[in-house]
Homo-oligomer: A and B are copies of this chain.
Amino acid sequence: MFLPHPHADQIALPNVLAVLGDPTRLAIVAELARKNGGPVPCGHFMDLCSSKTNLSYHLAKLREAGITRTEAVGTSRFTTLRREELDRLFPGLLDSVIAAAGKPALATEPVR
Contact = CB atoms under 8 A, between A and B. Distances in A.
B93 A96 contact: yes
Contacts of A9: 106-107
Interface residues of A, number: 41
Contact of A90 (B18, B100, B111): B100
B21 A111 contact: no
Interface in A78-112: 89-93, 95-97, 99-101, 105-112
Which of A65, A66, A96, A105 has the most CB atoms of chain B within a 10 A radius of its CB? A96
Contact of A96 (B12, B20, B90): B90
A6 interface: yes
A11 interface: yes
B91 A12 contact: no
